[in-house]
Amino acid sequence: MIYQIKNLTEFNTSINDNRALLIYFSHDNCSVCKVLKPKIHELLTTQFPLMTMHYCDTIESPDVAAQNSVFTVPTILVFLDGKEFIRKSRSIGIAELHNIIERPYLLMFTE
């Protein structure tokens, strides 16, 4: 399940409540975003099950996007232990995203 962030309070709560969090910024008018979103969700579900995915619509919640300097879609922000760790915008490959997340994720969740 992908939780939708609608305001800054929900955004901040999401970061505080999730040790590993990916926030996907996009909107319904972006055709690339519509194709990429389920692929990212599948990647997290299969490869990084302890990472949560949330979604923010930049048209419905422009304040959240502006507060995070998100001016183009799609944009992905990954937070680990409450700190922004990864920021990717526009052309995002699933394999590239996997490679960027893998090492810190394994360090964080492997004993």
**pTM listed for this prediction:** 0.94
Q: Is the dihedral of CA 111, 24, 53, 46 positive or negative?
A: negative
Parent domain of 82: 3-109
Here the CATH number for the domain that contains residue 24 is 3.40.30.10
User: How open is the CA angle 44-49-50, to the nearest 5 degrees?
Assistant: 115
d(CA 98, CA 101): 5
Identity (one letter) of the amino acid at 15?
I
Q: How many domains does the chain have?
A: 1
pLDDT at 67: 95
Mean pLDDT of the chain: 95
Residue 36: both structure tokens together: 């990429």
Write the pLDDT tens digit of every residue in 41-66.
999 999 999 999 999 999 999 999 99
Q: How confident is the model at residue 111 (pLDDT cuts 50, 70, 90)?
A: low
